[in-house]
Amino acid sequence: MPEDSSPGFELPLLLSNLATPELPSPECPRRARTQIDLLLLAIEALDLSGSEAMLVAARDLGLDSVVKGRVNLWRLRSTNPMRRYSQRRPMALDEAKALVAIIGNLARRLTVLVRQLLTGGQQLREKQLSFDHHLRLADYLARFRTHFRARMNPRRAGVIAYSTDDNLDELAMQLLDQLLLCSGVLGTQRLWSSLFDGEVV
């Protein structure tokens, strides 16, 4: 049982805005766990202090009762089955809500940069130029590829699908789209709902 489900645990008020979906299991589904971790990976590639920023956001949002420090954050993210050192422990929905709230908070802080990178990427595609022609975008993509390859298990089928630079770059751009969508009004709620498409009973 996740430690945050222990008797006496009170859900922070912020998370009550995220509806609890009707799922076959009270645990966060595999696809949602993977997507949450990938979005956090994209944030780390955007912000060199991304890992620390996640902990600061947890404190600022009053979520340190759920995300209890660096080791706990790593354990939560390691429930992503694509990871090299994937944890078998389940992720409770309240824990997933906390991570989604952190993603929304950091996405709002990074909105200007995310928009610039997406605009630059679109302009390069229209001109049929490679992403290397945009320094900030190329840096983000290179960091994302490095993070992904260092942390994901190359033997997993889901990871093998991203074995080339082009496929990883496409994933990194898709994650930028998601971060932009969840940076707006009700963006956190939209992201939360999107994680359970096809999962709800």
Tell me the per-residue pLDDT of 66-117, one tens digit each, with 9 for 90 and over: 999 999 999 999 999 999 988 778 899 999 999 999 999 999 999 999 999 9
In the chain, what is the straight-line distance between the N-terminal and C-terminal CA atoms, in Å? Answer: 23
Q: What is the pLDDT of residues 162-189, one digit of tens each?
A: 999 999 999 999 999 999 999 888 899 9
182: tokens are: 């969840």
- Length of the chain in terms of residues written: 201
Q: Torsions phi, psi of 113, nearest 5?
A: -65, -45
Let me know: does 114 contact 180? Beta carbons within 8 Å.
yes
Question: What does the pLDDT read at residue 4?
Answer: 41
- The answer to whether residue 192 scores a pLDDT higher than 80 is yes
- The answer to whether residue 198 scores a pLDDT higher than 80 is no
5: tokens are: 């489900």
pTM of the model: 0.90
The position carrying tokens 């956190």 is 188
Let me know: does 73 contact 200? Beta carbons within 8 Å.
no
Question: What does the pLDDT read at residue 7?
Answer: 35
Could you tell me which of 151, 188, 186 has the C-alpha nearest to residue 45?
Answer: 151
Question: What does the pLDDT read at residue 10?
Answer: 52
